[in-house]
A and B are shown apart, each in its own frame.
Chain A
Amino acid sequence: MSLSHIGAWLVALVWFAWASAIDTQLTLGGETSYWVPSLGIALLVAWAVRMEVGTLWALACLAALAKVSFSVEPPVAILAGNLAVVMLVRFGRRSFDLSRPLARSLVAGMVAGGWLFWTWLVLNARHGEGVHPSWEVLMQAATSTGLLTLFLGGVFAKLPGARVLLARRSLR
């Protein structure tokens, strides 16, 4: 791994940290913040659909490391969630070009809804509490994050540092 790659991964960590921090600020004190899109998920998906498949695991771990600082969910659950996301992307890229705007926004929407469901499942399994997310809530989260990825996914791919990581795009 070249020095520029190491630098790029470090920069990526900063981007994920900032995305998670902004997500946290946006949902502070919000009773119904399901319409607030998840910047962290949008960034993860926007990069995962373009990155070389061999490095997707590293991306999942990096995003988890950043998310852990800003999440009350246990690290193991965050890591499991991120691994599931990159596996989904990896599987999808075998048949589709997920880097296209509509495709990536669809994936981001699925991930956002799935993430809500997953965090509820973890809370419920560990503490026997939490309200089951309704379809409406899942759709709100999916739509907002999907739209964000649709319009800004391209911009995320051009963030400083991203170019090096996304340069060797592979469909397999």
Chain B
Amino acid sequence: MSALIALGSLTALSLRPIPLVERGVEQLFAPARLVAEVAAPIRWLSRDDAVEAAGTVERGRQEVVSEALELLEDERRSVRPPEHLIPAGLRMVHAEVVERVRGEEDSLVIRWAEGTQLEAGIPVVVGEHYVGRLSLVDPDEPGRGQVELVTGRDFRAGAQLYVPGSARGELIVGGLLRHRGDVDGGLFLAIHSPGAWKQREGMVRVFEWLGEGRAGAWADGFLLGELVSEIIEGGDELMRVRPLRDLASGLYRVVLLAPPEEGGVSEVDLDAPTYDPSCWLGASVLTRCTSARGRDGLRLALSSGVKVREGSAVAFGPHLLGRVETAGAVTARVRTLSDPGLVLPLLARVEGEEHPVAIGRVTTEGLGPGGALKVRWESMVGIGDGEGFAPARLFTGGGVLGVPRGLLVGDAILPRSVGVHEVLIQPGTDASNCQWADVWVGPGGGAGS
């Protein structure tokens, strides 16, 4: 009977893990590190491949790092709002999305330069796109806060419909209408109290008619999306706004429009510490963990006393290998990119596009032909004109705690259209051959991103 109870408990914990128990069991299995060392001779069989792989990565390192830094700089330029939309005297404060909390999909956790004081309520934009308001400034951690997105249930923003050569229609926009799984790019913003205007298409821009001089009005003129009209059941007309940015998973970097500071600068930048060696911790690869079901991972040896956070990025040079699943006292279990179900937001350098494209989340489905990574990608807004395919180099985007932006993932041919696509990514390096890796611990070794 006790055996049955034990088995039942373990089964339940396997399917519905309790983090504290999970960590406890991981500690219990700490001696597994010694067991892995016992089987080291098996690993030595591929030592030559490992040395060759390390050499290849090292030789190409400088080139990839330069490319990644250039990409991040291009991204910075692309999120900078156009001058004509910024009210005179306002400061542009750059911030990166460090986390999207599960269950709070309508908010972003962001980080900006620590010395910059901000207040809740100021607009948050990406290029000419309006995405929401700063809703919370973390009192305990300087330079951290939370953004409420325009998709939030209670979010409302005054807006105007811009139609060239026609009068402007006024409306209130905010919250999600509904997520249409059957419609490509099916994320729409709801319209409240539309006016009696007859236009059925056009661009919808922020216009806070009661916001004169207040923070809300600083975003006047920024784009919310395009008006979409559809006749639904019963012959009624349904109008909604389709955002032109992927608000669900394609926001990695934003700009806050802040009031001026006396003698202050007009633009406050933020460095990406991705390639700062002090943000990484070296670890040797104890074993490669594969299974017939296509699961794929690594077990890393950690120095005792070192704190590694779950979810942190694991890299081989400038190449992303995977993320830490669980970290124990002396080892860490890592899910590699080819492990089915790993979710990553990506930033792409797409051939023919001037700026980097935040393509949003991809979900890995395992290995494809020739060692390629098979991923599922839901393109919410498409790329460029939305037609054909384009070669792209993919890097990590933002919004995942512990994964810095700008690590190389691989090369792929991306469809430009909106919709759900199966994509093959040729990884920049083969994780099967690495015998050491770096784990992201963040600035100051705190594992933040």
Q: B-contacting residues of A (Cβ < 8 Å)?
A: 13-14, 17-18, 20-25, 27-31, 33-34, 36, 38, 57, 64-66, 68-77, 79-80, 83-84, 87, 116, 119-123, 125-131, 133, 141
The residue in chain A whose Cβ has the minimal distance to the Cβ of B368 is A31
Determine the chain B residues whose CB is within 8 A of the CB of A27 once the complex forms: 290-292
Determine the chain A residues whose CB is within 8 A of the CB of B16 once the complex forms: 125
In whole angstroms, what is the CA distance A8 to B433 when docked? 34
Do the beta carbons of B7 and A129 come within 8 Å of each other?
Answer: no
State the interface size on chain B (CB cutoff 8 A): 59
How many Å from the CB of B34 to the closest CB on chain A?
A: 9
| 12 further contact pairs, Cβ within 8 A, besides A57-B3, A74-B26, A130-B341 | A14-B38, A17-B36, A21-B42, A23-B291, A24-B287, A28-B290, A72-B325, A80-B7, A87-B4, A123-B295, A126-B15, A130-B293
Do the beta carbons of A126 and B17 come within 8 Å of each other?
Answer: yes
Do the beta carbons of A131 and B35 come within 8 Å of each other?
Answer: no
Do the beta carbons of B42 and A28 come within 8 Å of each other?
Answer: no
In whole angstroms, what is the CA distance A20 to B36 when docked? 10
How many Å from the CB of A90 to the closest CB on chain B?
A: 8
Residue in B4, B21, B291 with the greatest tally of chain A CB atoms within 10 Å: B291
In whole angstroms, what is the CA distance A120 to B295 when docked? 9
Determine the chain A residues whose CB is within 8 A of the CB of B295 once the complex forms: 71-73, 119, 123
Do the beta carbons of B33 and A76 come within 8 Å of each other?
Answer: no
9 nearest A-B pairs in the assembled complex, by CB-CB distance: A129-B341, A72-B297, A80-B10, A21-B39, A127-B341, A69-B36, A77-B14, A21-B42, A125-B15
Residue in A64, A69, A87, A131 with the greatest tally of chain B CB atoms within 10 Å: A69
Determine the chain B residues whose CB is within 8 A of the CB of A73 once the complex forms: 291, 295
A-facing residues in B195-232 (Cβ within 8 Å): none
Do the beta carbons of B432 and A28 come within 8 Å of each other?
Answer: yes
Q: From B7, B42, B291, B341, give the contact of A25 (CB < 8 A).
A: B42
Residue in A27, A38, A76 with the greatest tally of chain B CB atoms within 10 Å: A76
What are 16 contact pairs spanning A and B, CB under 8 A? A21-B42, A21-B43, A24-B287, A24-B290, A27-B292, A29-B430, A30-B290, A68-B35, A70-B289, A71-B291, A71-B297, A72-B289, A80-B11, A80-B14, A129-B341, A130-B341
Task: Tell whether B6 is near chain A: CB-to-CB under 8 Å.
Answer: yes
Give B283-321 as 1s and 0s: 1 = Cβ < 8 Å from A's Cβ atoms. 000111111111111010000000000000000000000
In whole angstroms, what is the CA distance A133 to B366 when docked? 14
Do the beta carbons of A69 and B10 come within 8 Å of each other?
Answer: no
In whole angstroms, what is the CA distance A27 to B326 when docked? 23
Q: From B10, B45, B292, B365, give the contact of A76 (CB < 8 A).
A: B10
Determine the chain A residues whose CB is within 8 A of the CB of B297 once the complex forms: 71-72
Beyond A72-B333, A75-B25, A76-B25, whether A24 also contacts B293 by CB under 8 A is: no
Give B28-59 as 1s and 0s: 1 = Cβ < 8 Å from A's Cβ atoms. 11011101101100110110000000000000
Residue in B39, B297, B430 with the greatest tally of chain A CB atoms within 10 Å: B39
Q: From B32, B42, B339, B363, give the contact of A72 (CB < 8 A).
A: B339
Q: From A20, A74, A76, give the contact of B39 (CB < 8 A).
A: A20
How many Å from the CB of A45 to the closest CB on chain B?
A: 16
Do the beta carbons of A133 and B293 come within 8 Å of each other?
Answer: yes
Determine the chain A residues whose CB is within 8 A of the CB of B39 once the complex forms: 17-18, 20-21, 69-70
The residue in chain B whose Cβ has the minimal distance to the Cβ of A57 is B3
Beyond A21-B287, A126-B17, whether A34 also contacts B35 by CB under 8 A is: no
The residue in chain B whose Cβ has the minimal distance to the Cβ of A127 is B341
The residue in chain A whose Cβ has the minimal distance to the Cβ of B322 is A72
Determine the chain A residues whose CB is within 8 A of the CB of B334 once the complex forms: 72
Beyond A76-B17, A128-B341, A129-B341, whether A33 also contacts B292 by CB under 8 A is: yes
Q: From A14, A38, A71, A83, give the contact of B289 (CB < 8 A).
A: A71
Do the beta carbons of B33 and A69 come within 8 Å of each other?
Answer: yes
A-facing residues in B357-389 (Cβ within 8 Å): 363, 365-369, 371
